Amino acid sequence: MNAVTGPLESALAELLERFHAAEAVALGRAISLVENERPGFEDFLHEVLRVGPSAARIGFTGPPGAGKSSLLSVVATIWRTRNEQLGVVAVDPTSPYSGGALLGDRIRMSDLATDPGIFIRSMATRGSLGGLATTTKEVIDLMDAFGFDRVLVETVGVGQTQIEITAAADTVIVVLVPESGDAIQAMKAGLMEIADIFVVNKADRPGADRLVKDLRQGLHLRVGTVLESEPVYHGLDLDRIRRKESGEEFKGPGWSPPVLSTVAQSGEGVEHLMDMIEAHRSWLEESGELEERRRARGKVRIQDVVDRELRRTAWHSDALLAVLDQGLDRIQKGKDTPYSVAWDIVNRLLR
Amino acid sequence: MLNIDQKIRVLVAKPGLDGHDRGAKVIASALRDAGFEVIYTGLHQTPEMIVNAAVQEDVHVVAMSILSGAHMTLFPKVRELLDGAGANRILLTGGGIIPVEDIEALESQGVGRLFGPGTPTTEVIDYIQNWFVGQDTF
Ligand SMILES: Nc1nc2c(ncn2[C@@H]2O[C@H](COP(=O)(O)OP(=O)(O)OP(=O)(O)O)[C@@H](O)[C@H]2O)c(=O)[nH]1
Ligand SMILES: [Mg+2]
């Protein structure tokens, strides 16, 4: 069973046409097509992604209630005054109990609610068990391909989702608040490695200065001692660390994440944040890191899609399901193990 | 198995000037607990804001909570804007303090079922679920 075999089915061809004509309704529908993995969605993505990535992808992550949406809304409003076209993807967790979700990020973006130059989409994490679903990353690609100058992504920082934002954004902004604890906690959570920019929001509250200082110190520890301070989280890439240490990783001078403080409501510190976002963009482009990040993203995508296709091919095939069933019978009779059955299925898949 | 579970997406909207969104929040959480994906946009939403959000979020249903008495203008207005935006497949439903004759009038104008105060949330959930069955959508 092959995706990307031929012309799109007529309904999708029509959707594609309207997508290319930059109709908001078509983007809304296309996102659902992808999010729900409806038949033909990969062919649709294949068509749409013929144009490579061009938007600046900016991720906002951090603990619940840190002010990610408020901050995003403030910077978005300023970019809109410069007539930049913006796409926003706001991801909130699916309730593991009901499978439902309450998506409330738009509440903070009310001021932009009728602005035709910004498109906001709320998404639930659905089945991704804490990570960023492949479909979420595909939706970000859709937004990019639609032609926005920037695609802003908000994810709640809990474990793997937070780490995986690096797989979706070029610039990762980690938003913390004075109540978030100290730099050691940020280190343990792997934040030191993912943040391109740290923001201590709610700087109108006590403790902000202390956290800023603490984070700066924590970041300082890393300089020149990459291996010592690289946190041991899932997915540690030793190769990359080696290259980083030997200086091969960066073609230009390195980037040290700045630590800023903001008050989202008053806009204090926001101009500085925006300057840093621009500075990071220039660094990404000049150092070659942007190409590197895009390549890494491409690799993960290819692997994800291969995994997904294989899984679908296997478990949607009556013949292979029959092999599985018969295997289970033999296992119950003590005549076989799960491994030989699995190998049998893999061999048949590869034939 | 590949898990293509069709999530029902609902925009819960609170138009108008009154500042009471308790009812909207109750229905939003009840729908969430029933497994729906609920987009909640906060107070004081204009029809334009609601329709813009409905299009971007590509929801199946818009549920409006109206206590201000402005239901006879707000429901038809949102219906008209939805249709104008090419979103005529979206179900418009809602609740509030709405007299029976108004409910009948609105239903004849393409608005779905409307629920009075104190309606058990399960009734709303059942209504949306039953409507959803057989909808051709992605
Ligand atoms: N005092 C103060 N409150 C703020 C600031 N920024 C945001 N808030 C408030 O913090 C609360 C949460 O803000 P959000 O922007 O919704 O935070 P969030 O990180 O997007 O929250 P989730 O998406 O729910 O994780 C709101 O009540 C905001 O008004 C700030 O700089 N100072
Ligand atoms: Mg938020």
Supply B126's token pair: 């059942």
Subunit contact B56:A103, Cβ cutoff 8 A:
no
* Residues belonging to chain B: 138
Q: What does the alpha-carbon distance between residue B41 and residue B62 come to, in Å, rounded to a whole number? A: 11
pLDDT at A122 over 50: yes
Amino acid at A340: S
Q: With pLDDT > 70 as the criterion, what percentage of chain B qualifies?
A: 94
Residue minimizing CA distance to atom 25 of ligand 1: A64
How many whole angstroms from its chain centre is CA B75?
A: 10
Name the more confident of A133 and A130.
A133
Output the CA–CA distances (angstroms, integers) from residue B137 to A40, B13, B64, in the order listed.
14, 22, 22
* Secondary structure element (H or E) that encloses residue A213, with its range: helix A208-222
Mean pLDDT within A294-309? 92
Where is B114: in which H helix or E strand?
strand B114-115
Q: Measured between alpha carbons, how far apart are the two ends of chain B, in Å? A: 19
Give the mutation target among A108, A173, A268 for probing the ligand 1 site: most ligand atoms within 8 A of CB. A108
B79-102, pLDDT tens digit by residue? 999 999 999 999 999 998 899 999
- Are B56 and A121 within 8 A, CB to CB? yes
pLDDT (0 to 100) of residue A343? 96
Residue in chain B lying closest to A25 (CA) = B55
- Give the C-alpha distances (Å, rounded to integers) separating A229 from A173, A218, A249, A255, A299: 20, 10, 17, 16, 26
- What average pLDDT is seen over chain B? 90
How close is the Cα of A267 to the center of ligand 2, in Å? 17
Q: Higher model confidence: residue A100 or residue A228?
A: A100
Please check whether residue B53 touches A, CB under 8 A. yes
Quickly count: other Cβ atoms within 10 Å of residue A51's Cβ.
10
Q: Identify the three-state secondary structure at position B65.
A: strand
Q: What is the pLDDT of residue A190?
A: 77
Report the separation in Å between the CA atom of A207 and the middle of ligand 1, taken as the mean of its atom positions: 16
In angstroms, rounded to a whole number, what is the distance separating the alpha carbons of residues A152 and A58? 5
Name residue, tokens 């001021």: A111
Every domain of chain B and the residues it spans: 9-127
**Predicted pLDDT of residue B137:** 65
Residues of A in contact with B52 (CB under 8 A): 113-114
> B9-127 adopts what CATH topology?
Rossmann fold (3.40.50)
Q: How confident is the model at residue A242 (pLDDT cuts 50, 70, 90)?
A: low
> Is the pLDDT assigned to residue A261 strictly greater than 50?
yes
Give the lowest-confidence range in A163-167, A205-209, A300-304, B5-9.
A163-167
Say whether pLDDT at A275 is over 90.
yes
Q: Which ligand is nearest to the CA of A105?
A: 2
Spatial contact of B62 and B92, defined as CB atoms under 8 Å apart: yes
- Give the rounded distance of the alpha carbon of A197 from its chain centre: 16
| Interface test mutation site (partner A, options B9, B25, B36, B56, max chain A beta carbons within 10 A) | B56
Distance CA B119, CA B112 (A): 15
φ, ψ dihedrals at A95, nearest 5° = -70, 125
pLDDT at residue A126, rounded to an integer: 86
The most distant pair of C-alpha atoms in chain B lies apart, rounded to whole Å, by 49
Cα A95 to chain centroid distance, Å, stands at: 19
Residue A238 has pLDDT above 80, yes or no: no
DSSP labels, A139-169 = HHHHHHHHT-SEEEEEEE--THHHHHGGGT-
In this prediction, residue A213 carries a pLDDT of 92
Going by CA atoms, what residue is nearest to atom 28 of ligand 1? A67
pLDDT tens figures, B43-67: 889 999 999 999 999 999 999 998 8
Cα separation, A11 vs A38, in Å, equals 12
Q: Which pTM value belongs to this model?
A: 0.89
Percentage of chain A surpassing pLDDT 70?
86
Residue A55 has pLDDT above 50, yes or no: yes
Q: How far is A15 from chain B (nearest CA, A)?
A: 12
Question: What pLDDT score does A224 carry?
Answer: 45
Quote the ligand 2 centre to A49 CA distance (angstroms).
28
User: How many contacts does A have with B, using Cβ atoms within 8 A?
Assistant: 98
Q: Which helix (H) or strand (E) holds A188?
A: helix A183-188
The rounded mean pLDDT for chain A is: 87
Q: Whose CA is nearest to atom 9 of ligand 1?
A: A67
- Considering only A2-16, A71-85, A128-142, A314-328, which range has the smallest mean pLDDT? A2-16
- From atom 4 of ligand 1, which residue's Cα is the shortest distance away? A202
Q: Taking the domains of chain A in order of start, what are their residue ranges? A: 1-50, 52-287, 317-350
Answer yes or no: is pLDDT of A83 > 60: yes
Residues flanking ligand 1, CB < 6 Å:
A 64-70, 105, 108, 156, 201-202, 204-205, 263-265
Residues A11-39 have pLDDT tens digits of 999 999 999 999 999 999 999 999 998 99
Cα A143 to Cα A5: distance, rounded to the nearest angstrom: 24
Is the pLDDT at A169 greater than 60? The verdict is: yes
Stretch A333-349: mean pLDDT: 95
- Nearest Cα to A201, choosing from A263, A143, A137? A263
Rounded to whole angstroms, the Cα distance separating B10 from B38 reads: 5
Which candidate in A18, A27, A31, A32 is best for mutational testing of the B interface (most B CBs within 10 A)?
A32
DSSP H or E stretch at residue B64: strand B61-66
| pLDDT above 60 (res A145) | yes
Contact by Cβ (8 Å): B53, A113: yes
CATH number of A52-287: 3.40.50.300
* pLDDT at residue B22 is higher than 90: no
Give yes or no for residue A226 having a pLDDT over 80: no
Does B46 contact A114 at a Cβ distance shorter than 8 Å? yes
Residue A173, SS3 per DSSP: strand
Sheet of A150-156: strand order equals A118-124, A86-92, A150-156, A56-62, A171-176, A197-200, A259-261
Pair of tokens at residue B95: 């609740």
Which residues of chain A does B132 touch, with a Cβ-Cβ cutoff of 8 Å?
Answer: none
* Choice between A242 and B28, residue whose per-residue pLDDT is larger: B28
Rounded to the nearest whole angstrom, what is the distance from the C-alpha of residue A115 to the centroid of ligand 2? 19
The residues with which A90 forms a beta bridge, in sequence order, are A122, A154
Whether the Cβ atoms of residue A92 and residue A156 lie closer than 8 Å to each other: yes
| Confidence grade of residue B3 (pLDDT, cut at 50, 70, 90) | very low
Residue A276 corresponds to which tokens in the numbers above? 């840093």
C-alpha–C-alpha distance, residues B52 and A128, integer Å: 28
Q: ipTM score of the complex?
A: 0.93
Q: For residue A117, what pLDDT is reported? A: 97
A68 touches A267 (CB < 8 A): no
| Confidence bin at A241 (pLDDT 50/70/90) | low
pLDDT value for A228: 42
Q: How confident is the model at residue A335 (pLDDT cuts 50, 70, 90)?
A: very high
Cβ <8 Å between A100 and B56:
no
Q: Environment class of residue A333 by beta-carbon count within 10 Å: exposed (0-12), middle (13-18) or buried (19+)?
A: exposed
Residues of chain A with pLDDT > 90, as a percent, come to 67
Nearest CA to ligand 1 atom 13: A67
Q: Provide the pLDDT for residue A249.
A: 45
Q: Is residue B138 over pLDDT 70?
A: no
Q: Alpha helix (H) ranges present in chain B? A: 22-33, 47-57, 71-84, 100-107, 121-132
Confidence of residue A193 (pLDDT cuts 50, 70, 90): confident
Predicted confidence at residue A219, as pLDDT, reads 85
| CA-CA-CA-CA torsion sign (A178, A182, A187, A193) | positive
Which ligand is nearest the CA of A156, by number?
1
- Check residues A243 and A114 and name the one with the higher pLDDT: A114
Mean pLDDT of B102-113: 93
* pLDDT tier at A227, thresholds 50, 70, 90: very low
